[in-house]
Amino acid sequence: MGQAGGHPAAVQTPHTATGLDNRKLGMWAFLGSECLFFGALISSYLLYRGRSIVGPYPEDVYDIPYTSVSSFVLLMSSLTMVLALNAIQRGDHRKLRAWLLATALLGITFVGGQVFEFTVFVKEGLTISRNLFGSSFFVLTGFHGAHVTVGILMLLTLFGQSLAGHLPTERALRVELIGLYWHFVDIVWIVIFTIVYLIP
């Protein structure tokens, strides 16, 4: 087994019917179900779009340059996440911790930006109960933000485990599973950014 691409030093085929690790299979099944969860929220947003009878309306509150920077931050956190996985698979635990911390910090920056954005919207009169746009927007982006927050907590847990020496190379799957969750949260934002913010 080559190491050029940074694949695990010793991949063992799990003793399961599929030959795949059940935890990873479970994570993919969970992510498949999450598509339906976010699909419901995005559909609700689309259903209510343009049906608010009082303002503020999207064009009154959206700050595209600001949200673009937030999107870029989250996108780059996917890079640091995959580099963290690559580091543990190569047995480089110092780099693993550095990339995990970088991912968590980028995630915190994104969530912080979202909290700031929400605060500005509320100051401009858009609350969750103000109109249909407010209700669907805050529920959709709020649930996404909650997912990012859970991801940050898991990343910091991994960081702590690595510091305590409880995350050896043989347990790289833990990083991979949390990485899958993190990338999923990123691709959901890719959809939200386009459908909610960019498409008029």
Residue among 34 and 93 whose Cβ is closer to another protein: 34
Burial of 156 (0-12, 13-18, 19+ CB in 10 A): middle
> Environment class of residue 159 by beta-carbon count within 10 Å: exposed (0-12), middle (13-18) or buried (19+)?
buried
| Three-state DSSP class for residue 41 | helix
- Nearest distance from residue 164's CB to another protein, in Å? 26
Nearer to another protein, 57 or 125 (CB): 57
- Give the whole-angstrom CA distance, residue 76 versus residue 180: 15
d(CA 192, CA 71): 10
Residues at the contact surface with another protein, assessed by CB under 8 A: 1-2, 4-7, 11, 13, 18-20, 24-25, 28-29, 31-36, 38-40, 42-43, 46-47, 49-50, 64-65, 68, 71-72, 75-76, 78-79, 81-83, 86, 89, 179-180, 183-184, 186-187, 190-191, 193-195, 198-200
Distance CA 102, CA 105 (A): 5
Nearer to another protein, 11 or 54 (CB): 11
Nearest to 176 by CA among 194, 195, 158: 158
Spatial contact of 195 and 67, defined as CB atoms under 8 Å apart: no
CB of 170 to another protein, least distance (A): 15
Looking at the Cβ atoms of 71 and 162, the one nearer to another protein is 71
**Which CB, 40 or 150, lies closer to another protein?**
40
- CB of 16: closest distance to another protein in angstroms? 10
Smallest gap from Cβ 6 to another protein, in A, equals 6
Query: What φ, ψ does residue 15 adopt, rounded to 5°?
Result: -85, 75
Least gap, CB of 25 to another protein (angstroms): 7
